[in-house]
Amino acid sequence: MLHEGAVATGSTVDGAPAFPGRLEIIRELAVTDFRLKYHDSVLGYLWSMLSPILMLGTFYLVFRYIVVVRTPGYLPYLAVGLVYWTFFQDCSCSGLTSLAAKAGTLKALPVPVVLVAAGAAASTVITVLINTAVLVVALAVGGRLSSLAPLAIVPLAALVLLAAGVGFAVAVAHAHFRDAALIWTVLLQAGFWLTPVVYHVSSPPLWEVLHWNPLARCLTLLRWFLVYDFAPPVRFVIVTVASCAAVFAFGLALLLRHQRRIPELL
Amino acid sequence: MIQVREVSKEFVIPHQRRKTLFHHLYPRGRTYETFFALADVSFDVAAGECVGLMGANGSGKSTLLRILAGIYAPSRGTVRVSERVAPIMDLGVGFQGGLSVRDNVFLYGVLLGIPRRRLAAGLAEILGRAGVERFADARLEALSTGLRARLAFTLAVRSEAPILLVDEALAVGDEAFQESCLAELERFRSRGRTVVLVSHATDLLERLCHRVLVLQAGRVRGDGPARAMIGLYRSL
């Protein structure tokens, strides 16, 4: 193991856990976070579904009967949007607070910072996988499940990369600036309305502009595959996956670049 | 095994609280000072050696141990550690009070780099050695501080890392615990493994360490046999 400072160049850490050990650490941290989140609560895991269900009921009433949107199959459209938006929000917020929450561990044990952030992201992936199973069952029971549903794994994987990458980036920001949490809350509010989560856009110029956002592209693909039985152009899928992977690579690179200094900043 | 060359560690201490983005963007009027926790520290530790670190509070012992563990990066200089390390610092930090003792064995053990299957195979022995077998399914928060420290120490020793970094860990716990920790460290040392031990307990350093380094204000003031270095420390 070589720890080098400002004068020397390069750094290798041979003594860090090997690859299977790293996966075990991520798994252990993810399962622990998941269990602690719902531990001691009366409804346990059901709390995680209550939020999207309440939002679904409220937005459905408002957009169906007050604003009167005419999107075909609006309820499943809204359900897909809210389930995956909630995941993006949870994953990025878990990433944001992950390092500060484990400050003691990071100062006392040589656990790579990136594994702690990955563990926090992975715990929200457990949630979204369970919620996806519930959503698929609900769509099937309601006769709205598309025959292309198995393909939803592609945009779901892209969304996980996107949310984890954003989570890594905001985790670095939060380690440096404590007001990053407040700023991120405001940005999430703006992001919610700038992404077609609860509304539908079909006019080409606006649709194009909104779909510069990789999150909007993931939601659209998830809806096409889960509900609308629509096979999109391959290019749309490739651009979506590539843009999410690019965000993940950016977040990971940022975290790796800063991880040696983070324990002393916390 | 451990090679430390001209290592310095500089911390920036702002005079005002500077933890917000606004303060970073508009640092005008905000002052800070730099503080060298370590300055040009060089030494070697051979395989199988037990080296003590002593010095007054704030002399840089814990910072040095954290650098050896790879937790902090040195500001200058080079540290080479040729094998895996198991740090014993702030015993029990990393535990989750809301989970059971059994679950915490897996969590803390995995964080120390012990494979889960090895933890599962040795669970009964770990709980027995830590003296918490009766509480395996109780919440960890129900355990006393001393029992938590025993469990953490038992796991750290079990990690089988060739290098053990110990920071005042033996100060917690009762006499029996301290004696069992000492016996464990002696066993560790007799198996040819390397120990770097931070302590103010001179009898402990004399009993365990081949060599002691005395730190003062981040600099190495002496490096030699335990008895002579204890004398030097007292004369500073």
Q: Which residue of B has its CA nearest to A40?
A: B98
Task: Provide, as residue numbers in chain B, all residues whose Cβ is less than 8 Å from the Cβ of A32.
Answer: 96, 99, 103, 107
Which chain A residues are within 8 Å of B19, Cβ to Cβ?
A: 177-179
Cβ contacts from A onto B, under 8 A: 129
Greater model confidence, A249 or B161? A249
Pairing type for strands B194-198 and B163-167 reads parallel
Max mean pLDDT range (A65-74, B69-78, B139-148)? B69-78
Could you give the CA distance from residue B217 to residue B221 in angstroms, rounded to a whole number? 9
Lookup result for tokens 């002052």? B31
- Please give the distance of CA B128 from its chain centroid, rounded to a whole number: 24
Chain centroid to CA A21: 24
For the entire predicted model, the pTM comes to 0.83
Average per-residue pLDDT for chain B? 86
Choose the closest CB to A104 out of B70, B73, B93.
Answer: B93
Distance from CA of B89 to the nearest CA of A (A): 6
Say if A10 is an interface residue toward chain B (CB within 8 Å): no
- Most distant CA pair in chain A: distance in Å? 67
- Considering only CB atoms, which chain A residues are within 8 Å of B70? 1, 3, 13, 15-16, 110
Of A118, A128, A159, A138, the C-alpha closest to A45 is A128
Give the Å distances, CA to CA, from B197 to A42, B124, B163, B202.
Answer: 46, 28, 11, 12
Q: What is the pLDDT of residue B91?
A: 75
According to the model, what pLDDT value does residue B120 have? 94
**In angstroms, what separates the C-alpha of B194 from chain A's closest C-alpha?**
14
Our CA-based measurement puts residue B110 at a distance from the nearest CA of chain A, in whole angstroms, of 6
For B11-64, the pLDDT digits (tens) are 877 665 556 666 666 666 666 678 889 999 999 999 989 999 999 998 999 999
pLDDT attached to residue A164: 97
Min Cα–Cα distance to chain A from B69, Å: 6
For A8, the closest of B78, B85, B110 (CB atoms) is B78
Cross-chain Cβ contact B71/A35 below 8 Å:
no
Give the separation between CA B31 and CA B24, rounded to whole angstroms: 12
A110 interfaces chain B, CB cutoff of 8 Å: yes
The 10s digit of each residue's pLDDT in A114-129 is: 999 999 999 999 999 9
Who among B11, B21, B67 is closest to A3 (CB)? B67
First-to-last C-alpha distance (Å) of chain A: 24
pLDDT digits (tens, 9 = 90+) for B84-113: 888 888 777 778 888 899 999 999 999 988
Interface with chain A: mutation pick from B1, B71, B85, B160, highest number of A CBs within 10 Å: B71
Helix H segments across chain A? 19-38, 46-61, 74-101, 103-108, 113-141, 153-176, 180-194, 204-210, 214-223, 234-258, 262-265
Nearest to B90 by CA among B123, B60, B65, B59: B65
What confidence tens digit (pLDDT) does each residue in A161-174 have? 999 999 999 999 99
CA distance A115 to chain B (A): 10
Show residues of chain B in contact with A105, CB under 8 Å: 93-94, 111
Give the model's pLDDT for residue A5.
45
Interchain proximity A110–B79, CB inside 8 Å: no
What are A253's two structure tokens? 């690179």
In the structure, what pLDDT confidence band is assigned to residue A9 with cuts at 50, 70 and 90? Answer: very low
Question: CA-CA distance, B106 to A60, in Å (whole number)?
Answer: 44
Min CA distance, B186 vs chain A (Å)? 23
Binary contact (B82, A1; C-beta < 8 A): yes
Q: Is A179 on the interface with B (CB under 8 A)?
A: yes
Residues 6+ away with beta carbon under 8 Å from A27: A119, A122
Mean pLDDT of A70-80: 88
- Which residues of A are less than 8 Å from B24 in CB distance? 176-177
- A170 in reach of chain B (CB within 8 A): no
A24 touches chain B (CB under 8 A): yes
Q: Does A17 touch chain B if contact means CB atoms closer than 8 Å? A: yes
First to last CA, chain B: 30
Residue A11 has pLDDT above 50, yes or no: no
Q: Which residues of chain A neighbour B73 with C-beta distances below 8 Å? A: 3-5, 11, 260-261
**Does residue B52 contact residue B205 with C-beta atoms inside 8 Å?**
yes
Is the predicted pLDDT of residue A260 greater than 60, yes or no? yes
Q: By CA distance, what is A112's nearest residue in B?
A: B71
